[in-house]
Amino acid sequence: MQTPTSSSGGSVSSGQITAQRWAGTGPATSLTGIGLPVTLVEGDTFCVSNGSGDIATHQPHGLFVLDTRVLSRWELHVSGGHLEPLATTCDQPFHATFLGRTRPRGRQEESELLVTRRRDVGHGMREQIEFRNFGQKELHVTAEIHVDADFADVFEVKDNRLKRHGQHRLSSNSRWLSFEQTDEHQAKRVTVHFSLAAEVEPGRITWRLEIPPKGLVEICIECELAINGVTRQMLFPCGGSDISAGPTLRKVDWHEQTPVLETSNAALQQSIASAINDLGALQIVDPE
């Protein structure tokens, strides 16, 4: 697991976006549409959230693995409220970056805190959250993740026929929070691990951060699923090599095998490229 780090200066890269671009008070810009849902897919795992990266309970959102919703709520609150969304980029079918900032308070002309959420899905989910302080003074920030797991079937979610099945149990300590469901067929458990110790209570994980001037704090979070006591190996664990991860290598191999279209019609070119990416994301690999 990664540990929190502090550094001075620099920028946060996300595709062609830099942190400095979003530190001010100019109008927020979205690369995918802030109001649109964001869907990430890798094999039998997919995640649907809003453009800020939050999984809301009143929407058909969630992290789904093997057609089961293992996260039904995943909302980040900073200093008591939602972030102001700035931009979302999806440069891989299984990866997205969400940029947000706290709103200026009092006589502040600019927001001093930029928050970057980098999310990868594959047999679970990894989320790396970076809190960057652009101010001249240390920031004291309370960051909370509101989380729940209902283990609903994907079709129950789609048809809004939600009903809790079996017995549910919650357990936790300062480094993890676990949701379990047991019925007559099997036992499922989703465990949320975090690299920085937190205050944990049912449905909420809280960090009280001290961010140095021009510095940052990072937290890496893993959401892993176990079925009948057997934990599925995450494709993107904290501290792992993303370059050598299976989804990354398969994407490279997929694009090497697909035909290349040369056309002066930009819309057609974009449509073909999107279709190729979508088909590549839907590949299911035989573990045998």
Cβ neighbours, 10 Å, residue 172: 16
Looking at the domain assignment, is residue 270 inside a domain? no
Looking at the domain assignment, is residue 12 inside a domain? no
Residue-wise pLDDT for 52-85, tens only, equals 999 999 899 999 999 999 999 999 999 999 999 9
Looking at the domain assignment, is residue 180 inside a domain? yes
Inter-residue contact 38 to 48 (CB < 8 Å): yes
Residue-wise pLDDT for 112-159, tens only, equals 999 999 999 999 999 999 999 999 999 999 999 999 999 999 999 988
Q: pTM of this prediction?
A: 0.76
Looking at the domain assignment, is residue 209 inside a domain? yes
Looking at the domain assignment, is residue 283 inside a domain? no
- Domain range for 157: 19-239
Give per-residue burial for 245-255: e unless 16+ CB within 10 Å, then b. Answer: bebbebbeeee
Q: Which residues are bridge partners to 25 per DSSP? A: none
Determine the pLDDT at residue 31.
46
Counting the structural domains of the chain, the total is 1
d(CA 7, CA 211): 10
CATH number, domain containing residue 81: 2.70.98.40
Determine the pLDDT at residue 246.
53
Q: Which residues contact 287 (CB under 8 A, 6 or more apart)?
A: none
Q: Which residue has the tokens 């073909």?
A: 272
Looking at the domain assignment, is residue 286 inside a domain? no
Residues of the chain with pLDDT under 70: 1-35, 106-109, 242-257, 261, 273-274, 276-288
Looking at the domain assignment, is residue 247 inside a domain? no
Looking at the domain assignment, is residue 269 inside a domain? no
